Amino acid sequence: MAYSDKVLDHYENPRNVGALDKNDPQVGTGMVGAPACGDVMKLQIKVNDDGIIEDAKFKTYGCGSAIASSSLVTEWIKGKTLDQVMEIKNSDIAQELALPPVKIHCSVLAEDAIRAAVADLKSKQTVASEVA
């Protein structure tokens, strides 16, 4: 399968690989996909007190396009607010990476990962505010 140069670049030099402390109240963790389907993405975001995403880390089990999609979104979401990152669409990711039709699901998964991480963070913050 021919991959675009951008996919190859992210695959060869993935950005922001790693893990954040998932118990940190300012960290949201999104894990999407399933091993049986051939891809699992874990995306973590850390927001500062101003609600800006100051750090993002990922780990992905999947094909080159899945790795590139998650690597790309970690770059895109840093410095943005939660509302801003919720506007990122899978089509933006697919277009940026020139994903072929059989790989569109990788960009869908990356979008899902953002939503899951944001949802996790928001649920933590709700719990925190209720406790307070």
Partner 1 sequence: MTARMPIYLDYSATTPVDKRVAAKMIPFLTEDFGNAASRSHPYGWTAEKAVENARDEVAKLVHADPREIVWTSGATESNNLAIKGAAHFYQDKGKHIITMQTEHKAVIDAFRELERQGFEATYLAPEADGLLSLDKFRAAIRPDTVLASVMLVNNEIGVIQDIETIGNICRENGVIFHVDAAQATGKVHIDLEKLPVDLMSFSAHKTYGPKGVGALYVRRKPRVRLEAQMHGGGHERGLRSGTLATHQIVGMGEAFRIAREEMDLENARIRRLRDRLLAGLQEIDETYVNGDLKNRVPHNLNISFNYVEGESLIMAVKDIAVSSGSACTSASLEPSYVLRAIGRSDELAHSSIRFSIGRFTTEEDVDYTIELMKSKIGKLRELSPLWEMHLDGVDISKVEWAAH
2 touches partner 1 by CB under 8 A: no
d(CA 104, CA 68): 12
| Cβ proximity to partner 1, 5 vs 83, nearer residue | 5
Give dist(CA 82, CA 46) in Å, integer: 10
Give the closest residue to 97 by CA, choosing from 117, 118, 67. 67
Note whether 98 binds partner 1 by CB under 8 A.
no
As to burial, measured by CB atoms within 10 angstroms (0-12 exposed, 13-18 middle, 19+ buried), residue 80 is middle
- Residue ranges in 110-129 that form contacts with partner 1 under rule CB under 8 A: 112
- Residue 20 as a binder of partner 1 (CB under 8 A): the answer is no
> 66, 93, 106, 121: which one is catalytic?
106
Contacting positions for partner 1 (CB under 8 A) = 1, 3, 11, 14, 17, 19, 31-42, 59-64, 66-67, 102, 105, 108-109, 112
